[in-house]
Amino acid sequence: MTITVLLPSSVLCHIIPGALVENVPERPLLEKTEKAERHYLRRWQIWAKETKQTPAQEWDNPAQGWGAPPIQYAWQPYDPSSIQPMPPREDVDNYFYLNVRYTNRDAEPDIVFSHFSSTLIDFLRMAIGDEFFDLNPDSPLTHFVFKLDELKAHLSDARSALSNLSGEELKTKAHDLGRLDSLTPQQTEQDAQQYLEDLVNQLDVLIPLVEKEFEPISKRLELEISYGHISFDLLMYYFKKGEKYYYESWDNTLAFVLDDTSMDSSFRILNLSGHGKMWDGRRYVHENRVVNISRYPGTRALSDLQCKIMQDDVHNELTGMSFLS
């Protein structure tokens, strides 16, 4: 005969989220790693060894020596306070998750959005592109910050359409804002209206949240730049797509237009990639440009960064040697 003993939930134990040591002790479930907000879920995470609950997503561990056995790492639930209880998880009404991710206990956290609704996926494929064509996209705060004005314009456009358009015009507007099947015979005007109503409701949550999350970062960025310095974690917001920059390479000054920025989560290296032109002695040739900035402690003078903003005097100096396109 099998005897089953049911224990009260107050004595259930689990591995402490965020603990990075081996042989992690167990303790009652007290940590807060998720918080249900209004139409989105906020999650705190840290880059740590995989567990049975969270299988590995990547293989790199910068602390390992060469030849050491590989250790699988993943984003693990992490409780910065380590004392507050986790609120009930609510998924049904969430438009997206907001993840507060710590690479280690001393680092500034990264804000990353994930688990978007199908409405937001359709819209953001049109509005931002890039990672939103992935199966399960993660998108950093920077991608929304740099597109805020455009996102607000799209929101205003959707609102105006709901008030002023009908019939095929309304279906066309839904198509233009991401719902590509809106013009098919199977889709009705009511379908287009529902999509636009959902989009307005969800952007009304996403856009103010992006502004709120970026506000303290913006103030730090403004303060540090006013003194001619910048922290490594703020570089993602300092370098902007479409802007002109230059750097030194083998005694040559090379200019480029920035196309993309990305952060190596394992080694904390900021990757800047762009395009430019170079005179090879016979003609101008297109070149891809890549600059890697390794993590540094504290702040660094803007003048000491290996990649700098293109000023007019530098641009004039480079005319005839390195052009932008």
Q: What are the pLDDT digits (tens) for 108-157?
A: 788 999 999 999 999 999 999 989 999 889 999 988 998 999 999 999 99
Instruction: Report whether 210 contacts 143 (CB < 8 A).
Output: no
Backbone angles phi, psi at 306, to 5 degrees: -70, -15
pLDDT at res. 318: 63
pLDDT at res. 315: 66
pLDDT at res. 12: 41
Residue type, position 45, single letter: Q
Residue 275: name the closest of 255, 251, 301 by CA: 255
Statement: the pTM of the whole predicted model exceeds 0.75? no
- Residue 44 bridge partners (DSSP): 100
pLDDT at res. 110: 87
* Low pLDDT (below 70) residues in the chain: 1-31, 51-70, 82-92, 265, 312-325
pLDDT at res. 174: 97
